[in-house]
Structure 1
Amino acid sequence: MNPIRIPSPAKLNLFLHITGRRQDGYHELQTIFALIDLYDYLSFEYTVQDHIEVKGLQQVEQQHNLIYRAAQLLLPYRKTTQGCSITLEKHIPMGAGLGGGSSNAATTLLVLNKLWQCGLDQSQLLDLAIQLGADVPIFIYGQNAWAEGIGEIITPITDLPEKRYLILKPDCFISTQSLFSQKLLTRNSKPTKFAAYQQNPSDFGNNFEAIARTLYPEVEQAFQYLNQYGKVRLTGTGACVFVEIDCDADTDVMLTHAPYPGYVANSLTSSPVLDIVQSL
């Protein structure tokens, strides 16, 4: 089999509220996941040897590699003895709040479910996805969505307006665990509805923004730069920040003068992974 090369999209959180904390310590969230056309690429190839090989992410130990862990979860269901070699071309920055690792894990589940003839339906894949992380299920759905719970209660959104975004990646690594441990973090935002967001999206923010801007000067610098172009938002727990831009905006000038590396991305209505997997 020739390698099959699959795009693995990023996401933005258009807002992110913490609405409470569960007895098991996990936080209840509300957010909108918006898929964008910034991609990693994964190439899948059968191997004669019965093993899983992941190339392109040497800096991550195997037991922490979400691609490897996703493949491992499918082993009990496969109907073939062939292994798989997976090569990652990394374009989505790591530790950025863009969901690159989660997307890679979901892409692996979707593709190997087909290649290994596992026969799992979407519900079964979602059960595996949540074991890998709260952001993985959205990429199994492959649609923009309103999400609640710890991110696993998903309601697809079919009418998000098409947008273009300028995204900056500040030169810092933000520890999600550290942000969650901050005493000043707002954990009791009032639960809301998608209809309220549609009426006044500018009223919806990210509970992690103030703390990230205070603790990480690089994030504050990125906010200050993008402020000239519109309302700036933090995605996930960061470190990436983004702003909506016009289709005719001079992004070359914007990126040239930006204090950190940046990306221009367009919104997606659905993940291209779904159609590709259907054709396998």
Structure 2
Amino acid sequence: MAITLPAPAKLNLMLHVLGRRADGYHELQTLFQFLDHGDELTFERRDDGQIRLLTELPGVDHDSNLIVRAAFLLQQESGCRLGADIQLHKRLPMGGGIGGGSSDAATTLLGLNHLWQLGLDLERLATLGLRLGADVPVFVHGRAAFAEGVGERLQPVELPEPWYLVIAPQVSVSTAEIFSDPELTRNTPAITVRSLLAGGGRNDCQPVVEKRYPQVCNALSLLNKFVPARMTGTGACVFGSFPNQGEADKVRRQLPATLPGFVARGSNVSMLHRALARLGQEVDA
């Protein structure tokens, strides 16, 4: 028994930092949308309870990987005695701000919930996911959303679904480093969903990242020659939107070979959830 599922990328179309919380985290407002591009995971059931990630990631210890941690957490919280062999086809850059690790963790939770026939609902899985990372719940729910708190309070939204060109500078940005920077703006006034969708919003982390990482600053400058460019999350990836795939591909072909990137369609419903629906699992919002 084996299944293969996608772990889609996400974009933060805006990211406001409202203030620092008493627990040391930051109060945020952000707008998530998924991309039809991402990692891919294959899960094969084991009857002996072992969790084995068969794909090594440079610099990441097996038991520290979010995929393995998600599998162990689901196993422990559900009391399930089954295990899994997991293979990862990695496409998304690490430290890129497009949710690679968090998306892999969410796909693991939903994939093993299906493979082990646990029957846990999305709210329960999202609660588990929050213990792994603030971005995991949005991937579990699989809907474009306006998010508040540390990113866990989600309000589904309907957004245009343009094509995006995403540029991935060859640098890994530390989220903790950016949020601890004394120059980070931490007093942006709260915005309503209505006013946000009418147009507006920025990424408060972008000026800090541009100053610390010239590779990101250069990528933004290059993309801005063709289309308004913005950084996603705490970087390093930057993006611009296009009305169709052809125009996005045309700009991509003009990028230097030393600056990798990809073109993908924006999606309000995660391709993970579409894949699960094809497997016959009812996925509720």
- Once the two structures are superposed, residues 192-211 of structure 1 have per-residue CA deviations (whole angstroms, 9 ceiling, x without a partner) of 0111112223xx11001111
Q: Give percent identity, aligned residues only.
A: 43
State the Cα RMSD in Å. 1.6
Task: Quickly say closer, same or farther: Cα 1:242–1:76, change in 2 above 3 A.
Answer: same
TM-score by length of 2: 0.92
Counterpart of 1:18 in structure 2 is: 17
SS in 1 for 2:150: coil
Letter in 1 for 2:55: G
| Equivalences for residues 91-110 of structure 1 within 5 A | 91-110=91-110
Task: Quickly say closer, same or farther: Cα 1:12–1:248, change in 2 above 3 A.
Answer: closer
Letter in 2 for 1:4: I
| Equivalences for residues 57-96 of structure 1 within 5 A | 57-59=56-58, 60-78=60-78, 81-96=81-96
Counterpart of 1:258 in structure 2 is: 255
- Once the two structures are superposed, residues 220-262 of structure 1 have per-residue CA deviations (whole angstroms, 9 ceiling, x without a partner) of 1101110112211000000000011231644444223324101
Structure 2 unaligned residues grouped into runs of 5+: none
Letter in 1 for 2:106: A
TM-score by length of 1: 0.93
SS in 1 for 2:97: coil
Letter in 2 for 1:262: G
Aligned partners of 1:270 and 1:85: how far apart in 2? Answer: 27
Counterpart of 2:225 in structure 1 is: 228
| CA drift at 1:80 | 5.2
Aligned partners of 1:68 and 1:132: how far apart in 2? Answer: 11
SS in 1 for 2:268: coil
Query: How many residues in Structure 1 have an aligned counterpart in Structure 2?
Result: 276
| CA drift at 1:174 | 1.1
- Once the two structures are superposed, residues 13-48 of structure 1 have per-residue CA deviations (whole angstroms, 9 ceiling, x without a partner) of 000000011111110000000111112110010124
Aligned partners of 2:275 and 2:239: how far apart in 1? Answer: 29
Letter in 2 for 1:188: N
| Equivalences for residues 155-194 of structure 1 within 5 A | 155-157=155-157, 159-194=158-193
- Once the two structures are superposed, residues 140-170 of structure 1 have per-residue CA deviations (whole angstroms, 9 ceiling, x without a partner) of 110000000000000011x201111111011
| CA drift at 1:64 | 2.1
Letter in 2 for 1:16: L
SS in 1 for 2:224: helix
